[in-house]
Amino acid sequence: MNSRHLDESISLGNQCIQSINSVKSRIWLVFSLYYFIPLIYMPYDRVKFGLLILIYIAFLGLYELAIRTSPHNVWRPILGIIVLSAIATPLTPGSGTFFSYIGFLLGFHCRPKQWLICTGLLIGLIVTLHFLNNYAFHFFAFSAITGLITIGIVGFTERVRYESRISQQKSREEVEQLAIIAERERIARDLHDILGHTLSSIALKAELAEKLLAQEKQDAAKQHLSELHQIARNSLSLVRQTVSGYKHRGLSGEVMELCERLRQKGFIVELNGEIPQLSPRAETAVILALTELTTNILRHSKGDHCQIEFSKHCDKIQVKMRDNGAVTVLTPGNGLRGIQERLQTIAGEMQSSVHKGCEFIISLPSRELQQQRS
């Protein structure tokens, strides 16, 4: 945990460096020319003028260093600017301009409590320099204190804004990562359901064809082999569609196909109720659920009758599937658990019971029906 928090702090620091190290940060240096305003109304000899120029160049260098250096080392150039301001104040009240930039750097890099303490100490320094040099209040102390506080608040606001942007970016990345994980789980569940059903059908067809060949019934065997080939092709198509985004023939078409497959295996199939028009994600969930249940019936049931019923009760859409197989205990496997997980993503559920066969009831919220009609 400590290592992760350290990495996050370093990342935040790097983001802050990038944000402050921008064209805008350098444009603000235009206001540092107020440093030279006292030259208009105060006499300076060449030596003092040269010192003022050297101090200003040193300030520019320290400010550039402050916006380029890491947050851990930014205190050095900030202290350098503070010392430079104290040295320049006896020469010119224009040094009060530097305190605005000190305020911005402190506001950007300090937490609120640290910023208040540093600002208080700097106000004390400004007041001390004011009385030591006996400047008029509005020439030095007033501009230095107001610049320190107001520009410091600007710096703090900039930090909050960039932290918020970084937090939003991190949240987006987490959402994208969760979406990727969910998509992988969807593909895994869908492939399990599709391949489980298809491979079961292929196994039955191959077994039947093998028996027919053993009995030298060539024509019948060719028919089953042809059907096996078609099932394999359909399976390949479904796998491709699942990986690229599940597409199907609609709930009605898939239900009719499942009923036909059950009838081919000797089941009497009874289809009741009106097949509803569902939203795409609900339709996909129901299709895959019915496909998995059909696979289980073909694989495990010893019955000969299957009933599928669609109905609507209050705020629920229900799909019932039951058979008359000889089952006493129902042990959920990966397939049934996958159905439950998929239905939960759309606020649905599936209930099961064992009484003279198996019965499964899939319930969906009615809004899945309304979304399709609206």
Give the E-state strand segments of the chain in sequence order.
268-272, 305-313, 316-323, 349-354, 358-365
pLDDT of 183 strictly over 60: yes
Q: HSE-up of 217 (CA within 13 Å, CB side)?
A: 11
| pLDDT given for residue 242 in this prediction | 59
Task: Calculate the CA dihedral of residues 288, 294, 298, 302 and round it to 10 degrees.
Answer: 140
Task: Answer whether residue 335 shows pLDDT above 80.
Answer: no
pLDDT of residue 12: 47
Q: Where are the alpha helices (DSSP H) in 245-279?
A: 251-264
**What is the rounded CA–CA span in Å between residue 110 and residue 119?**
10
Per the structure block, which two tokens stand in for 4?
Answer: 């992760």
pLDDT tops 80 at residue 182: no
86-100, 153-167, 217-231, 333-347: range with highest mean pLDDT: 86-100
pLDDT of residue 65: 87
Q: State whether residue 246 is helix, strand or coil.
A: coil
Q: What is the pLDDT of residue 362?
A: 94
The amino acid sitting at 244 is S
Across residues 194-211, what is the average pLDDT?
74
How far is 333 from 277, CA to CA, in rounded Å?
A: 29
What is the distance between the alpha carbons of residues 179 and 185, in angstroms, rounded to a whole number? 10
Mean of the pLDDT values across residues 231-248?
Answer: 63
Give residue-wise pLDDT tens across range 27-83.
777 788 888 888 777 777 888 888 888 989 999 899 888 888 877 888 899 999 999
Tell me the mean pLDDT in the region 119-148. Answer: 88
Tell me the residue type at 159: R
CB atoms within 10 A of CB 342: 23
- Which of 22-36, 270-284, 297-311 is predicted with the least confidence, judged by mean pLDDT? 22-36
DSSP assignments along 60-82, one per residue: HHHHHHHHHS-TTTTHHHHHHHH
For residue 14, pLDDT over 60 is answered with no
**Residue 322 reports pLDDT greater than 90:** yes
Which amino acid is it at 29? L
Going by DSSP bridges, is the β-strand pair 305-313/268-272 parallel, antiparallel, or unpaired?
Answer: parallel
Mean of all residue pLDDT scores within the chain:
80
Considering the entire predicted model, what is its pTM? 0.45
Residue in 237, 231, 311 with CA at minimum distance from that of residue 271: 311
Range 252-280 average pLDDT: 89
pLDDT band at 8; cut points 50, 70, 90: very low
* pLDDT at residue 99 greater than cutoff 80: yes
* Main-chain phi, psi angles of 333, to 5 degrees: -110, -165
**Average pLDDT for residues 279-293, to the nearest whole number?**
86
pLDDT at 174: 73
Instruction: With beta carbons less than 8 A apart as the criterion, state whether 323 and 301 touch.
Output: yes
pLDDT value at 172 more than 80 = no
pLDDT(243) > 60: no
The candidate with the shortest Cα–Cα distance to 126, out of 92, 81, 95, 80, is 95
- Please name the residue that has the structure tokens 């609120």: 112
